[in-house]
Amino acid sequence: MNQVADIILLLEAELRRIGLWEEAAPEKQALESTLPFCHDSLEFHQWLQWVLIPKTRELIEKDIALPTTSDIAALAEYRFEQMPQETDALLKLIREFDRLLSEGKTSP
């Protein structure tokens, strides 16, 4: 889980570096969407910040097993392709997150 925790920290740092980290949380109802990735109420980078990062941290802190698969890189590529920010480093981190979970490399 240490590697996943490191990736989560790096994801936050990269979102901040490229100006996609938001100080104000979205409306509560935006976070309660039942659609995958809250795609009807959040941008993908918002979902990373307000859903994926905190939920992953919570699982790690409570020593709860992480999911055994992840395949969010393809969606990230699609959602980031129209953005003006340079997202290559962010995509690399997301691919690494996918790899760690999917290869079961979530142990300390």
DSSP readout, 24-70?
A: SPPPHHHHT--SGGGTTTS-HHHHIIIIIHHHHHHHHHTTPPPPS--
What DSSP state is assigned to residue 87?
Answer: -
In this prediction, residues 24-39 reach a mean pLDDT of 94
Structural domain of 47: 2-21+35-102
Model confidence at 49, pLDDT cuts 50, 70, 90, reads: very high
Q: Let me know if residue 30 belongs to a domain.
A: no
CATH of the domain at 70: 1.20.1440.40
What pTM, to 2 d.p., does this model score?
A: 0.92
Q: Let me know if residue 82 belongs to a domain.
A: yes
Give the contacts of 5 (CB within 8 A, at least 6 positions apart): 57, 60
Q: Let me know if residue 108 belongs to a domain.
A: no
82 versus 24: the higher-pLDDT residue is 24
Q: What pLDDT shows up at residue 105?
A: 66
The total of structural domains in the chain comes to 1
Q: What pLDDT shows up at residue 104?
A: 82
- Helix, coil or strand: residue 92: helix
Please name the helix (run of DSSP H) or strand (run of DSSP E) that holds residue 74, with its range, or none.
helix 73-80
Q: What pLDDT shows up at residue 13?
A: 98
Give the contacts of 43 (CB within 8 A, at least 6 positions apart): 79
Q: Let me know if residue 107 belongs to a domain.
A: no
Q: Let me know if residue 95 belongs to a domain.
A: yes
Mean per-residue pLDDT of the chain:
94
In this prediction, residues 20-44 reach a mean pLDDT of 95
Q: Is the pLDDT of residue 47 over 60?
A: yes
